[in-house]
Chains A and B, each alone.
Chain A
Amino acid sequence: MTEVIATNQTILVVGGGISGMTAALEAAECGKNVVLVEKNSALGGRVSQLYRYFPKLCHPICGLEINQRRLKQNPRIRVLTMAEVTAIAGGEGDYTATVKLAPRFVNENCTACGECSKAVDSEVPDAFNYNLGKVKAAYLPNKMAYPQRYVIDPSIVGTPEGEKAKAACKYGAVDLDMQEETVQLKAGAVIWATGWKPYDAAKIQPYGYDRFSNVITSVEFERLADIHGPTKGKILRPSDGKEAKNIAFIQCAGSRDENHLRHCSRICCMASLKQTNYVREAYGDEGKSTIYYIDIRAIDRFEDFYAKVWNDPNVTFIKSKVAKAVQDEKTGDVVLHGVNTEGYHRYATPHDLVVLAVGMEPSVKGADLPAQIVSDSSGFIEADPANHAFFGAGCASSPLDVNRAVQSATASALRAIQVVNRVARVED
């Protein structure tokens, strides 16, 4: 049975991406006790699946390393992975959260030696790489995974494969009898930092994400460029593994569209501008990028980055909402059709690969939140007195870039601290 000590002076942080980790760390480094609940098997969230950041082009896992080190040495944070909050009852200063813990089938004895993985043959889709590749059914979530502990996929539990994994572990870490658990936690305040998910690109029918293998999403493109990704950092297109040198980026894929997402997702322009650098990094002058856009939203000093990309002769900007995409079955190329609104020229342009700059939607939306929470028309949590001590943070509260998400998370930590300090004053 998982034991967690929590009181109504504890801050419950839901979501272990960069926002949740930040909120937990900032509060804990201020002397508060925190329980950090993450649905996946490792912390890091969507940011850990990015290859580089805009505009510095530095690597997100560098900051993740620092945050993990802060976490490892801080006894005030209790981390629960593979855990989901299913209900929150009570009110400010006195919440009770119900947390469902999925079985990992690997206990704390795991040394991450990898013998279980060697022993099994079955493979499962690699969620860390957006299922673009496969991993063994006994796997480490990723190379930076914290906790650094393997996971046995439930599909092999109760099969000879599961037994093989168990037999391979000399340390008694594989526990195939592990069961789902439900625990109840007290908390004085709740920080909800469940982040975002990419908009379901298949819903944008004219772009054919569900029909054309060479139409991918921007988050998948990140994995192609990353050395830890399915192609080990090579930009190869899915249909035939050919080097994708002529790449189209379609902006506002789902965003700014009342049929899909009402809001502007803020990050996608910068993300595509950044990704043109991946093309350049991989192929030099042979790499060509075309950005189809409505407005380029490169706010504040990001303008510099935009100007640099704008002046790159290998990048073309076309002000147009693409009408449709068609993949040529023989060549594998994807032809984009539409009208360039600057001058009203029709185009039908082939590309090796099409990247949809998919919008952000909140991972957990209004009605799915485990408490009565005020959210906006897109499902982002609003700052509202009616939410009492339940605070949205990061992309659960608004479509934000990493920098602003961390700001928001830091602010949420203070709001939670205000509550637990009030509780402490009453109790002392």
Chain B
Amino acid sequence: MADMKVAAYICQGCGLGDRLDTKALAGVAKKEGKAAIVKEHEFLCNADGVKMIRDDIANEGVTHVMVGACSRRAKTEAFGFTDVCVSRANLREGVIWSQPETDEAQETTQEMAEDYIRMGCAEVKKMTLPAGDPAAVTERTLLVVGGGVSGMTAALEASRAGYQVVLVEKSGALGGWAAKLHKRTPGKSPYADPQETPVAAMVAAIEGDANIKVYLNAVTSKISGAPGRFEAEISTESGATTTEKAGGIVQATGFNLYDANNLPELGYGKSANVVDQAGLEALAKAAGGGAIKRPSDGGEVKRVVFVQCAGQRDDSGKHLPYCSGSCCLTSVKQAMYFKDANPDIDTVVIYQDLRMPGQGEDFYRSGQTKGVTFTKGKVSGVEAAGNQCKVSFQDLILNDQAQIDDADLVVLATGQVPVSGVDIDSKLKAEIAAAAGDNSLMEAYNASQQEGAVKPVSILNLTYRQGPDMPQLKYGFTDSHFICFPYETRRTGIYAAGPVRRPMDMAQAVEDATGATMKAIQAIENAGIGRAAHPRSGDLSYPIFRKEGCTQCKRCTVECPFGAIDEDEQRFPQFNQARCRRCGTCMGACPVRVISFENYSVETVGSQLKAVDVPDEFSEKPRILVLACENDAYPALDMAAMNRNVYSAFVRVIPVRCLGSVNTIWINDALSNGYDGVMMMGCKHGDDYQCHFVKGSELANIRMSKIGDTLKNMSLEEERVSTFEVAITDIERVPQLINDYAALIQKIGMSPMKGF
């Protein structure tokens, strides 16, 4: 780039001037870093220092700034220049705070600082200021799939924010599960009585809303594109297909009740007087506010038993292992249908743990006041006896077998099963389970692939290379894995809402759908300016792909955690910028290195590690490269330094977006440049993974397990490349890991590759 002008600024504040020879650092920046302007400043982050840099940008044409001061996590406001490329040499946390303040340490401390200056200059020269995707477009329309309370909420909330909505409902009417209810559990004070459902009011609001277009008896038969430019084919039962454009999608496909036919031991299917919660709602609706009659003979109902956790919280492997979180509330509400009509009707709720959190407690109290009986017990069987049922249960308080002989009606609280479409990872999950010695998933998978087997039906029918539906987290729910980020999605711009995401009641579904709509709208706005979504919010860079050189190996399309990359007819990757989250996993995966970002590339990191001065074999100064996840390992190192937890002066740390972005060429380059070891610090992987790009740290681990051959070819010991799982709290452990590793390197000896 002809116009590049690099300036290096070296701070002397916070003790840098006392502990380091900043003049020598300036010399390094000038001579080796080839910075056109090099300035030292006694207090770079103050108004005067920042103005000095600003002036150079304005008057001297500086385009690339290297700041040698504190960690890139500190003083972000002062050094947050958005009109130039900026790199930071971490001299404070990375050097003087993590090195002992002794005379003996002076030499290695200075060497460390000089290397970070070299690295900062090398990095910034390889950076380009992201200009944003010139092809960025957006359609300010939200596609909502599912017309229950969650979907209707999404539609109405989006419209209220000024967006157009296309609402697709499979059945012939809006309302979903809620439309089947006689009444709902209360969603606000005083939490005492069942309330009217909001369905009629919501349907009326949607019908009167010019921003919302409704398709009934319709499904999304094909969705292609990306945030800002989705194209959905909507097929109606009549066979007609319409195409609608949308910028974002909310999937609110709800749940089905767990099939009570799986519970013959609880009398379902054997007696008409055993119903599930939907059955009871139907009876209550039919009664229209009058007395609910016994289904078998229309007789009077005097005693009703509610069986909680029917086919739920099951550890036998036959039924649902989870709790649906809403059934206790529903049973109390249904018991009130009887009590409110006739307080003499006996209603017994048999439960193990009554789960009515928050103000649900008031509703529970109201149930008690109305005379609903609560018995802690576990129902073992329900038998029909004429027009009544015999309910046997273990009374958990008396620790005794007990029985109710004359229940006129038994209601099974069976729980929610999400309507989430195809499990796109079922084969992968089966393979993982099989590798761990459990073949059951693989058998189920193989059975599902047989001819004639009932195939799960896709809901979204995405044309994505990685499958037609959203990835599922657990038990079929399309939830986020992250506690801090419930709307994290692995399909950018598509958000699950309501019980398809996790089991929930109506009040929560409304809240959830509103949140999901917020995220979908944000995705629409981001797409318009080519901006990344969380966690790299605001990043304008995107993967730039050089087609010549690509070997169509498909690693990038397979490994992208967000399904951002499709393949064209010739199997070249097709990048969808608006789906991309800028983790760089594709860049790490690419064996021929044709993928890069303007501000982060094989070159920005490669040039840094090559810039380090590697002393010769006889120096007794090994060099260890640390590639640290910028989200957890790097802050842990910063905080270790704040505590003055000392670590080896032989490491050179480079933050990476995610370990998934680590390309093996960096390891090769480091080793052939004479580094004695490479430590990779990423997040925990496995079931409870903590990687914010889902699979990055795991992929890195897999890639590195295959690096053995490379090491062998170079006649190097395996230990010279190691990966570590590090948490952000590891402020004592990380320095220890470094020191242990440095000792290990000392033991195996210096690399023979130096000086080549």
Q: In the complex, what residues of B have CB within 8 A of residue A376's CB? A: 188-189, 191, 359
Q: A26-B518, A407-B486 are in contact. Are A66 and B535 (CB under 8 A)?
A: yes
Which of B431-439, B585-593, B711-719, B723-731 is found at the contact surface with chain A? B723-731
Q: Is the CB of A73 within 8 A of B80?
A: yes
Given contacts A56-B483, A59-B728, contact A410 B518 (CB under 8 A): yes
Query: Given A65-B631, A66-B692, A382-B188, are A30 and B518 neighbors across the interface (CB < 8 Å)?
Result: yes
Chain B residues with CB under 8 Å of A301's CB are 322, 474-475, 477, 502
Judge if B206 is at the interface, Cβ distance under 8 Å. Answer: no
Q: Does A168 contact B (CB under 8 A)?
A: no
Q: How near does chain A come to B99, taking the closest CB pair, in angstroms?
A: 16
- From A29, A74, A109, A148, name the one whose CB has the most chain B CB atoms within 10 angstroms: A29
List residues of chain B with CB within 8 A of the CB of A112: 74
Which of A34-42, A208-216, A395-403 is the contact stretch?
A395-403
Let me know if A26 and B639 touch, CB within 8 A: no
- Tell me the bound Cα distance from A318 to B474 in angstroms: 30
A-B pairs with CB below 8 Å: how many?
A: 238
B468-488 residues at the A interface, CB under 8 angstroms: 474-475, 477, 481-487
**Docked pose: A256 CA to B360 CA in angstroms:** 10
The 8 A CB mask of A386-416 against B (1 = contact, 0 = none) is 0000000000001110111011111101110
Asked if B534 contacts A29 (CB within 8 A), the reply is yes
Pick the contact of B362: A70, A303, A377 (CB < 8 A): A377
Q: How far is the CA of A255 from the CA of B362 in the complex (A)?
A: 12
Residues of A contacting B732 in the complex (Cβ-Cβ under 8 angstroms): 227
Interface size range of chain A in the complex: 35 or more
Are B361's CB and A262's CB within 8 A?
yes
* CB–CB B639/A143 < 8 A: yes
A347 at the B interface (CB under 8 A)? no
List B284-333 residues whose CB lies under 8 Å from chain A.
Answer: 313, 315, 321-325
User: Is B522 positioned at the interface, with any CB of A under 8 Å from its CB?
Assistant: yes
The distance in angstroms between the C-alpha atoms of A398 and B360, with both chains bound, is 11
**Are B356 and A227 neighbours in the complex by a CB distance under 8 Å?**
no
Q: A65-B632, A342-B397, A415-B514 are in contact. Are A74 and B522 (CB under 8 A)?
A: no
Q: Are A29 and B325 in contact (CB under 8 A)?
A: no
- Give the chain B neighbours of A298 by CB distance below 8 A: 323, 353, 355
Q: Is the CB of B76 within 8 A of A72?
A: yes
Provide the residues of chain A in CB contact with B698, threshold 8 Å: none
Q: Is B423 part of the binding interface, using a Cβ–Cβ cutoff of 8 Å?
A: no
Asked whether, in the complex, the Cβ of B484 is within 8 Å of the Cβ of A67, the reply is yes
**Within the assembled complex, what's the spacing in Å between the Cα atoms of A236 and B353?**
32
Stretch at the interface among B157-165, B237-245, B447-455, B567-575: B157-165
A421 interfacial by beta-carbon distance below 8 Å: yes
Instruction: Say yes or no: B399 contacts A343, CB within 8 Å.
Output: yes
Name the residue on A nearest B511 (C-beta): A411
- Name the contact of B188 in the complex, choosing from A63, A171, A383, A403 (C-beta under 8 A): A383
**A61 and B77 within 8 A (CB):** no
Given contacts A109-B46, A425-B162, contact A297 B515 (CB under 8 A): no
- Which of A74, A299, A408 has most B Cβ within 10 Å? A299
Q: Does B24 contact A (CB under 8 A)?
A: no
Contact residues in B for A319 (Cβ distance below 8 Å) = 376
Mostly, the A contact residues are loop
A300-B325 contact in complex given A410-B487, A425-B162, C-beta closer than 8 Å:
yes
Docked-complex contact B321 and A304, CB < 8 angstroms? yes
Q: Chain B interface secondary structure, helix, strand, loop or mixed? A: loop
Is B357 interfacial (CB 8 A cutoff)? yes
Are B688 and A56 interface neighbours, CB within 8 A? yes
User: B642 an interface residue at 8 Å Cβ cutoff?
Assistant: yes
Q: Does A346 contact B (CB under 8 A)?
A: no
Contact across chains for B727 and A59 when beta carbons are under 8 A apart: yes
Give the residues from 725 to 748 in chain B that come closer than 8 angstroms, CB to CB, to chain A: 727-729, 731-732
Flag if B483 contacts A63 (CB, 8 Å): yes
Please indicate the chain A residues that have their CB under 8 angstroms from the CB of B397 in the complex: 341-342
Instruction: Encode A244-262 as 1/0 by CB contact (under 8 A) with B.
Output: 0000000000011000001
Chain A residue at smallest Cβ distance from B76: A72
Is the CB of A263 closer than 8 A to any CB of chain B?
yes
Chain A residues near B727 (CB-CB < 8 A) = 58-59, 62
Residues of B within 8 A of A63 (CB): 482-485
- The residue that A414 contacts in the complex, of B482, B518, B525, B729, with Cβ under 8 A, is B518
Bits for B75-102, please: 1 = Cβ < 8 Å to A, else 0. Answer: 1110010000000000000000000000
Q: Does A190 contact B (CB under 8 A)?
A: no
Is the CB–CB distance between B731 and A227 below 8 Å?
A: yes
Q: Is the CB of A73 within 8 A of B76?
A: yes
Nearest CB of B to A404, in Å: 7
The answer to whether B503 and A62 touch across the interface, beta carbons within 8 angstroms, is no
Q: For the complex, what is the distance from the CA of A377 to the CA of B692, rounded to whole Å?
A: 39
**Contacting pair B160 A144 (CB below 8 A):** no
User: Does any Cβ of A come within 8 Å of B358's Cβ?
Assistant: yes
A-chain residues with CB within 8 Å of residue B359 when the two chains form the complex: 262-263, 376-378, 380, 398
| Interface presence of B576 (CB below 8 A) | no
The answer, yes or no, to whether A324 is at the interface (CB within 8 Å) is: no
Please measure, in the bound complex, the distance between the C-alpha atom of A383 and the C-alpha atom of B376, giving whole angstroms: 34
A418 at the binding interface (Cβ < 8 Å): yes
Residues of B within 8 A of A29 (CB): 522, 526, 533-534, 537-538
Chain A residues contacting B77 (CB-CB under 8 Å) are: 72
Chain A residues, CB < 8 A from B517: 414
Which residue of B has the minimal Cβ distance to A23?
Answer: B518
B190 within 8 A of partner (CB): yes
Q: Are A18 and B325 in contact (CB under 8 A)?
A: no
Instruction: For the complex, give the distance between the alpha carbons of A58 and B448 in Å.
Output: 35
Give CA–CA (A227, B732) in the complex, Å: 9
Residues of B within 8 A of A399 (CB): 357-358
- Contact partner of A70 among B15, B503, B537, B683, CB < 8 A? B537
Q: Are A65 and B353 closer than 8 Å at their CB atoms? A: no
Which of B322, B353, B522 is the one whose CB lies under 8 Å from A296? Answer: B353
B323 lies within 8 A of A262 (CB): no
Q: Can you list 21 A-B pairs, Cβ within 8 angstroms, ordered by A?
A: A29-B534, A29-B537, A58-B684, A60-B484, A69-B535, A72-B77, A72-B80, A171-B46, A255-B361, A297-B355, A299-B355, A301-B502, A342-B397, A376-B189, A377-B359, A382-B188, A382-B189, A383-B188, A398-B358, A404-B486, A411-B518
Contact surface of B with A, Cβ cutoff 8 Å: 13-15, 43, 45-46, 70, 73-77, 80, 157, 160-162, 188-191, 313, 315, 321-325, 353-362, 365, 376, 396-397, 399, 474-475, 477, 481-487, 502-504, 508, 511-512, 514-515, 517-519, 521-522, 525-526, 533-535, 537-538, 631-632, 635, 639, 642-643, 683-684, 688, 690, 692, 727-729, 731-732
Given contacts A227-B731, A406-B487, 14 further A-B contacts (CB under 8 A): A58-B684, A59-B729, A62-B631, A63-B482, A72-B80, A262-B359, A262-B361, A264-B358, A297-B353, A300-B322, A301-B502, A380-B359, A406-B484, A414-B514
Question: Hey, which bits of chain A sit against chain B, CB under 8 A?
Answer: 18, 25-26, 29-31, 47, 51, 53, 56-67, 69-70, 72-74, 109, 111-113, 143-144, 148, 170-171, 226-228, 255-256, 262-266, 295-304, 307, 319, 341-343, 376-378, 380, 382-384, 398-400, 402-404, 406-411, 413-415, 417-418, 421-422, 425
